[in-house]
Each structure stands twice: as C-alpha cells, then as structure tokens.
Amino acid sequence: MASVELRNLRKTYDKKNWAVDDVSLTIPDGELLALLGPSGCGKSSTMRMIAGLEELTSGEIYFDGQLINRVPPQKRNVAMVFETYALYPTLTVYENLAFPLRSAGWAKQDITKRVDEIVDILGVQEFLTHKPRELSSGQSQLVGLGRALMRQPNVFVMDEPISHLDTRLRSRMRSYIKRLHLDLGYTMLYVTHDQEEAMALADRIAIMERGKIVQAGTPQEIFHDPINMYVGGFVGEPPMNFLACQAERQNDTLSLSYKGHAIPLPGDTAATRQDIPRDVVVGVRPFYIDSAPAPSDRHTIPADVFVVEAMGDSAVISVNAEDTRLQVVTESHTTIRSGDTVWLGIDPAYMLLFDQVTGARL
C-alpha cells in the first residue's frame, strides 16, 4: 500500500479549458477516499492521471513521497476497476483472475496460491470454471474486483464500478467493497457521481466542481458543515432546502425573515455574529423542518402542500412556500394531503446561513 499526494495537478485537453484545475490532495496510506461530483467535473481525469493513463499538463504525483510523474502505468502497481467489467470472454473466471500474474511472469505455484487467496476472500469458488457470459452482473463485478486485487496493489482506483447495477445489488456491492477495504487495508480512490455511495463507503470525501476540489472532509463534515451551497445541495437525499432571506440588526439584535415571515435564529448567532450581510440564504435539510396546521412562535412560514410521497418508514412532503419549493421529511402516518395549507418551523440548531451572492457559508 502507499500514500498518494497530488500537488497542483492540472489537465487540459484543448488548451483552453481546465478539466482538472490546480488540484492538491493527500490520501493517507490505507484510506478510502471518494472523489465525488457531477459528470464533467474532472474526477475521472484525476483518477486516470494517478493511474498513469493520462499525461499531466502540470503538477506532481507522489506515492509514498516518491515522484511518479514519469513512471509508466504498468510500473505504478495501481489496480483499476471500471464500470465495465473488461473480463476476457473466452477465459474462465479462474483464468481471468490468473491472467495479470501470468503476464507478470509469476511462477505457476505462486499464481495458484494467490488465486486461491482471492477466491477465498470473494467467495466465488462455485463459478471458477464459468465463462463471463454465464455470470450475473454482480458476479462479474466481483471477478473484476478480484482481478484488480491479484497483484497486491499500492493503490486501488475504482471509477463508477457499480453505477450500472440495480438498486438492491448496488447496496450489496457497497457493503462488500467497504468490508474488503476494512479487511485488506488498501489505499483506495473511489470515483462516483452518487453521493449515497460516497457517504456509505468513504473515510473521506473530496467534492469536485469544474475541475477543482471544493471541499474535502469526512462524510459527517461534508453533510453537516458544507463549505458552500454547492456542497450543501449536492450531498443529501432529499437535498438541502434553500430560502432567500433578509437579515436585519437593530440594537445588536439580529432578526431574519422570509417574505416578511420571521424565522427564529440560534441564540449564539443572534448574539455574536456581526458579519452577516442583509441578503442571506438559509439552508436546512428536510429532516429539520416540521409542520403544523396553524401558526405559532415556532411555525412561522405558510406553505401549500404540492404532493406527499410515502416512502414506507417516512413521508416526503413537497410544499410551495411563496415562490420556493421545499421538501419536508415527516412520519409515515402523516395526515397531510396535497392541497393542504401548513405552517413550517425550522429547527434553529440545524440552520445554515450562506451568502446570497457568492454561495459561501457564513
């Protein structure tokens, strides 16, 4: 295993636009880091430069403190798993697993020993003699993971490896990959656009936008302390709600309102914050809004119910508060129905404030 350090990494394909723009990042030995972002944000290009599949425009990549910019991909000992399984269709599962070691010139007895180790880890004994066409999607992805593990890599990179699987199989594969990382302790880079995958798998998440890393932190830090509106809105399901509000200070007391409706603030914010501009955005996750049939000191924002979605263990209520669509997560047995008028209350303890102009966290 190896630590990975990226210093001022940049990549352009057309000499006009930066696919990766000045990315600096450290992945400690044994960490599973998820590179998260929408299509085209630069996450796959970053991964491919680490693996040696793309040339750097500028910057440096280090494995365990050793510069590897000019090290060819076959000598970096980077194992790769992609969305497509890339299994050899004419070879059995056993031969697909053994192929990387045969190519590297390993002795037959060493190959057999290593294949047996990987088969035992993955639990694929029953279809060693099968060809890829005889395998399910999940089985094929297991074999793909196994083949990547064969060489005991310094770094393990995965590019959207389970995005094409159905929901139930994706959940199972997430658990499997997480367990694999815990048991083997490999340094892993997991590239995905799916925030649920990133949250479930990663020790840390680095979120990318337009070629840059916007924020890196643990899943809890990313979820509860987003650095800006982009991160807050990208991570979480249902996503974070945003309300354009006005802040006013009178006699050192801060008040906040939405369309003339007062919003209670956390006590420490009202008492100590002096840097809050007049135009702010309140960010709050759907779990921290509740509703009531009538206004109160807490429930101050009127809203019309657009639709109620039953999710089994909960319900997601979509409402129109003036000209803003919000989502509220409530108990599954709610009596609220489409067309009702409700009054919303935001839990001040979980309220986040953002600059309306820059989107930055205040």
pLDDT of residue 58: 97
The string of pLDDT tens digits covering residues 203-246 is 999 999 999 999 999 999 999 999 999 999 999 999 999 999 99
The CA-to-CA distance between both ends of the chain, in Å, stands at 39
pLDDT of residue 273: 61
Question: What domain range includes position 106?
Answer: 4-234
State whether 170 and 311 are in the same domain.
no
- The torsion of the CA quartet 111, 117, 120, 126, rounded to 10 degrees, works out to 0
Q: List the chain residues with pLDDT less than 70.
A: 251-252, 267-274
In a domain, 361, yes or no: no
Asked which of 234, 268, 294 is the last residue of a domain, the reply is 234
State whether 216 and 310 are in the same domain.
no
Domain count, the chain: 2
State whether 188 and 50 are in the same domain.
yes
- The torsion of the CA quartet 249, 349, 361, 39, rounded to 10 degrees, works out to -150
The string of pLDDT tens digits covering residues 22-48 is 999 999 999 999 999 999 999 999 999
pLDDT of residue 269: 59
Q: Are 46 and 35 in contact (CB under 8 A)?
A: yes
pLDDT of residue 245: 95
Q: Are 197 and 37 in contact (CB under 8 A)?
A: no
**Would strands 32-36 and 253-258 be described as parallel, antiparallel, or unpaired?**
unpaired
In a domain, 271, yes or no: yes
CATH at residue 345: 2.40.50.140
State whether 199 and 74 are in the same domain.
yes
State whether 280 and 205 are in the same domain.
no
Q: What is the mean pLDDT of the chain?
A: 91
State whether 144 and 274 are in the same domain.
no
State whether 137 and 191 are in the same domain.
yes
pLDDT of residue 271: 46
State whether 296 and 259 are in the same domain.
yes
Asked which of 217, 234, 251 is the last residue of a domain, the reply is 234
In a domain, 362, yes or no: no
Burial group, residue 121, by CB count within 10 angstroms (0-12, 13-18, 19+): middle
Per residue, the 3-state secondary structure of the chain, as one string, reads CCCEEEEEEEEECCCCCEEEEEEEEEECCCCEEEEECCCCCCHHHHHHHHHCCCCCCEEEEEECCEECCCCCHHHCCEEEEECCCCCCCCCCHHHHHHHHHHHCCCCHHHHHHHHHHHHHHHCCHHHCCCCHHHCCHHHHHHHHHHHHHCCCCCEEEEECCCCCCCHHHHHHHHHHHHHHHHHHCCEEEEEECCHHHHHHHCCEEEEEECCEEEEEECHHHHHHCCCEHHHHHHCCCCCCEEEEEEEEEECCEEEEEECCEECCCCHHHHHHCCCCCCEEEEEECHHHEEEECCCCCCCCEEEEEEEEEECCCCEEEEEEECCEEEEEEECCCCCCCCCCEEEEEECHHHCEEEECCCCEEC
Could you give the CA distance from residue 80 to residue 72 in angstroms, rounded to a whole number?
Answer: 15
- The torsion of the CA quartet 200, 325, 277, 256, rounded to 10 degrees, works out to -110
Model-level pTM greater than 0.85?
yes
CATH at residue 76: 3.40.50.300
